[in-house]
């Protein structure tokens, strides 16, 4: 089952409308076998599903905390209905992207209510979750414990402490690392990558967001008209190489390890990987 798994890639985002097929083909040529495409709001559920089916990838359905200002209880009901309607879809592998965000101002009571409700839906539908944990690790952990969530999942773009990382691992989660780990100034994050158990880490791009250092543009460059570097799933192997270097392991070892970690925490990916291997 050789091949990289991009465990978090918004390939359905409008930033890819002009060249989605080209970018997915470029990623496949680079060795990215599977992308997991998380929806961000109920209006995008169909797009995430269609994109996954078009490219032989996987998807998740959920309401991102940054989209909660435009969501309601009706959207939670839609999520429940869609999880039920597509329960036999082999490409539906998780509930996500869900979680909490304290980097931007939001209606905290409602984002917490929406997150709590989605954890319960994931539990009811027996699916793991893809978690958004920006500036919210402790509160997210509180909700996981309060709901006695036992389906596991991935704490996407993890940037917490080693102690917080261990708490997620104890609850059956893996931790997602991507472009942010490629910046030399991200010393705490890079130290975490080096210290964590090998079975704790999955790799991701969060494309088109979270570009690695070689795609990043400065504020001055953007002011001069240079666009913010768009991330792509094709960057995953190079991002993974930066993580492998921090751990002192070979790319072959790292590919095998991170793919095994992804399959362990998102078990519905396994048949999809097998089908690609048989192609």
Of the candidates 128, 139, 107, which has an alpha carbon nearest to the alpha carbon of residue 174? 128
The token duo for 215 is: 């795609």
Between CA 270 and CA 260 the distance in angstroms is 9
Between CA 111 and CA 65 the distance in angstroms is 6
pLDDT at 1: 46
pLDDT at 225: 56
Whether the full predicted model's pTM is greater than 0.85, yes or no, is: yes
Are 200 and 253 spatial neighbours (Cβ–Cβ below 8 Å)? no
* CATH number of 7-278, picked from 3.40.50.170, 3.30.70.260, 3.20.20.140, 3.40.50.800: 3.20.20.140
pLDDT at 223: 60
The token duo for 69 is: 């200002």
Q: C-alpha distances in angstroms, 74 versus 80, 81, 242?
A: 10, 10, 43
The neighbour count for residue 30, using CB atoms within 10 Å, is: 15
Report residues of the chain scoring pLDDT below 70. Answer: 1, 218-228, 279
pLDDT at 267: 98
* Annotated binding-site members: 8, 10, 97, 132, 156, 206
The token duo for 208 is: 């088109």
Domain positions in the chain: 7-278
Residue 30, C-beta contacts closer than 8 angstroms, at least 6 positions apart:
4, 234, 236, 237
* Annotated binding-site members for a divalent metal cation: 8, 10, 97, 132, 156, 206
């Amino acid at each position: 089952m050789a091949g990289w798994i991009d465990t978090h890639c918004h390939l359905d985002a409008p930033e890819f409308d002009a060249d989605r097929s080209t970018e997915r083909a470029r990623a496949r040529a680079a060795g990215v076998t599977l992308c997991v495409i998380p929806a961000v709001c109920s209006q995008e559920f169909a797009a995430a599903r269609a994109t996954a089916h078009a490219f032989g990838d996987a998807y998740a359905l959920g309401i991102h905390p940054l989209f909660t200002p435009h969501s309601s209880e009706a959207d939670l009901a839609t999520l429940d209905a869609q999880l039920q309607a597509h329960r036999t879809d082999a490409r539906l592998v998780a509930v996500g992207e869900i979680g909490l965000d304290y980097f931007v101002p939001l209606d905290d009571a409602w984002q917490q209510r929406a997150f709590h409700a989605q954890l319960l839906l994931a539990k009811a539908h027996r699916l793991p979750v893809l978690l958004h944990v920006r500036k919210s690790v402790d509160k997210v952990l509180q909700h996981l414990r309060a709901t006695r969530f036992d389906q596991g999942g991935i704490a996407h773009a993890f940037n917490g402490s080693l102690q917080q990382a261990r708490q997620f691992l104890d609850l059956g989660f893996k931790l997602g690392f991507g472009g942010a780990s490629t910046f030399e100034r991200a010393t705490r994050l890079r130290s975490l990558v080096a210290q964590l158990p090998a079975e704790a880490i999955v790799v991701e791009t969060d494309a088109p967001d979270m570009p690695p250092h070689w795609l990043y543009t400065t504020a001055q460059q953007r002011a001069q008209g240079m666009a913010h570097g768009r991330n792509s799933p094709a960057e995953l192997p190079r991002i993974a190489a930066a993580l492998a270097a921090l751990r002192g392991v070979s790319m072959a070892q790292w590919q095998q390890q991170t793919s095994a970690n992804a399959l362990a925490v998102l078990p519905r990916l396994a048949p999809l990987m097998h089908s690609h291997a048989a192609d």
